[in-house]
């Protein structure tokens, strides 16, 4: 077992799309995008979701679709040559990965859209108590969680923003 070469972890409600490939993929130096999401891996619309995301990757990256549990179970078997970009669509899934032993040290938050029951804390990020709890769990495990929509923007601490917006 080796420590996987995780080069970036991002929360984006849209999962894999053009901005990930063009902006964050290049910025991170990744050669593999791991979509860690139960629905994209095994859900009833998984084949449809995967086809769209593979097209968004543009052939520039290897793409894998694993459930949260499978990611926890197999990521330590990754080749050292794999530069892994972990992509989730919510903070609870990232917290589950961290608590399951996936060595994530930083979580970049991109797009978490406004939905009923959430409050907007940033132009592109809205949270509820469940999201804040997940970020708190990650921070307690030593993970830095920052909002940064594009690499040229200054990172903003999620919890500082979320707690000041109460």
What per-residue confidence (pLDDT) applies to 59?
82
The catalytic site residues sit at 17
pTM: 0.94
Segment 10-15 mean pLDDT: 94
Percent of the chain with pLDDT over 70: 98
What per-residue confidence (pLDDT) applies to 165?
58
Q: What is the pLDDT of residues 17-38, one digit of tens each?
A: 878 888 998 999 999 999 999 9
Domain ranges for the chain, please list them. 6-164
Q: Give the strand pairing for 125-127 and 119-122.
A: antiparallel
Q: Considering just the CA atoms, what is the radius of gyration of the chain in Å?
A: 15
The CATH superfamily holding the domain 6-164 is Phosphotransferase system, sorbose subfamily IIB component (3.40.35.10)
Q: What is the pLDDT of residues 46-92, one digit of tens each?
A: 999 999 998 888 888 999 999 999 999 999 999 999 999 999 999 99
128 has a pLDDT exceeding 80: yes
């Amino acid at each position: 077992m080796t420590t996987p070469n995780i080069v970036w972890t991002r929360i984006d409600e849209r999962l894999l799309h053009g901005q990930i490939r063009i902006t964050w993929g290049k910025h991170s130096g990744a050669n593999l995008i791991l979509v860690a999401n139960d629905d994209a891996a095994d859900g009833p619309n998984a084949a449809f979701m995967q086809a769209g995301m593979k097209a968004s990757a543009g052939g520039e990256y290897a793409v894998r679709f694993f459930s949260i549990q499978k990611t926890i179970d197999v990521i330590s078997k990754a080749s050292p040559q794999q530069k892994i970009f972990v992509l989730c669509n919510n903070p609870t899934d990232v917290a589950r990965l961290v608590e399951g032993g996936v060595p994530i040290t930083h979580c970049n938050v991109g797009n978490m859209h406004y939905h009923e029951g959430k409050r907007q804390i940033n132009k592109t990020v809205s949270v509820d108590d469940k999201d804040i709890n997940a970020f708190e769990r990650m921070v307690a495990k030593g993970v830095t969680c920052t909002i940064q929509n594009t690499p040229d923007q200054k990172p903003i601490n999620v919890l500082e923003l979320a707690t000041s917006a109460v």
